[in-house]
Amino acid sequence: MRALASDHGGPPAVELDGVSKRYGSATAVADVSVSIRDGEFFTLVGPSGCGKTTTLRLIAGFETPTTGTVRFAGEDVRGVGPEDRNVGVVFQNYALFEHMSVAENVAYGLKFADPPRGLSRNERVAELLELVDLEGLGDRDPTALSGGQQQRVSIARALAPDPALLLLDEPMSALDARLRQRLRREIRSIQTELGVTTVYVTHDQAEALAVSDRVAVLSEGRVEQVGDPESLYRRPRSRFVAEFVGENNLFDGTAAAGAMSDTTTVRVGEASFEIAADADGDVTFCVRPGAFDPAASHNRIEARVLDSEFLGETTRVRLGWADHRLVVSLPAPPDSETLTVGFDPRDAWVIG
């Protein structure tokens, strides 16, 4: 079970209030306002260049906003340097010192701060190595560790002074897929155990959904939507979020009165769909690949099978219908060149 972030009703742990960052004429971050709760695992996700790293660097204090305010627990931190913000930062390239042992690298995190709870430096280092599952490896050279182990050393180093805030910038991008999945579970479990407020940057939307309490989806420096993983997936508010978070099928049409009392009829080209939503005029709705079903009685369309990928549990099938490309997820590969599928009116979600 995931521990829920405590929301004491006090000021947010971190607040970005109308924050922009410009470099000359380029805008990296544009009027971002988000509140990160105490103890929360909060993720910034978006495609390359959307401003994730810049936002994290603004929180860490490596950058200063061009406009707007960053607050920690209600206090404006303008003018407070990174070393005085009580943050631990983990970078994608580990940034370990090769001439120091693993234990010395972790102890380096205590260079500007005393260990917490009256512990000696050695006790604190031992405690952290155990936390990240590297006990007994303190004397090793960091180059004699795997990529995943090296990243755990840099997490231990960032946590050494018991920071109020842990910032992670694409910490797993150098690792292979299987290791990434393992390490993300470990990071989440360490975060839950310590209850440390965490801001995590990734371009991988599946990773964001898997680990976060809440996620901010960024596009071109702006926040598109903030929400818990399920609401982002089920109730995207923009076309960008609908297409970026998970796979989706979008339909642009025109709404008319519903054939059934609790549905709306939407004309899409030559076809009509019944969707369980109030809509008027031009409307865009989306249907997830898993909602399509050959046995569904509503919204049936006959489509051409373009190709299919057998994924084990499911088969991902690309279909051509009118001028649309659709992706549907079926229990087994189709055995013909055309396929009729439908979806329940309640599985359509209107965007915007």
**Residues of the shown chain interacting with ligand ATP in the complex, contacts defined by CB under 6 A:** 23, 26, 28, 46, 48-54, 203
Of 205, 166, 203, 206, which Cα lies nearest the Cα of 187? 166
Rounded least distance, CB 246 to ligand ATP, Å: 19
Amino acid found at 113:
A
For residues 28 and 175, which CB has a smaller minimum distance to ligand ATP in the complex?
28
Calculate ∠ Cα 286-304-288, nearest 5°.
20
For residues 162 and 169, which CB has a smaller minimum distance to ligand ATP in the complex?
169
Rounded least distance, CB 53 to ligand ATP, Å: 3
For residues 26 and 311, which CB has a smaller minimum distance to ligand ATP in the complex?
26
For residues 243 and 344, which CB has a smaller minimum distance to ligand ATP in the complex?
243
CB neighbour list of residue 94: distance below 8 Å, 6 or more residues apart: 142, 147, 150, 151, 153, 154, 174
Rounded least distance, CB 156 to ligand ATP, Å: 24
Rounded least distance, CB 27 to ligand ATP, Å: 8
Rounded least distance, CB 240 to ligand ATP, Å: 14
> Given the structure tokens 């297409």, which residue do they identify?
243
| E strand residue ranges, the chain | 14-23, 26-36, 41-45, 67-72, 75-76, 87-90, 165-169, 197-202, 214-219, 222-227, 249-256, 264-268, 271-275, 282-287, 301-310, 315-321, 324-330, 338-341, 349-350
Q: The sheet that has 41-45: what strands, in order across it?
A: 87-90, 165-169, 197-202, 41-45, 214-219, 222-227
For residues 58 and 132, which CB has a smaller minimum distance to ligand ATP in the complex?
58
Rounded least distance, CB 17 to ligand ATP, Å: 19
For residues 53 and 284, which CB has a smaller minimum distance to ligand ATP in the complex?
53
For residues 151 and 299, which CB has a smaller minimum distance to ligand ATP in the complex?
151
Task: Name the 3-class secondary structure at 87.
Answer: strand
Q: How far apart are CA 130 and CA 126, in angstroms?
A: 6
Q: Name the β-bridge partners of 293.
A: 342
Rounded least distance, CB 243 to ligand ATP, Å: 17
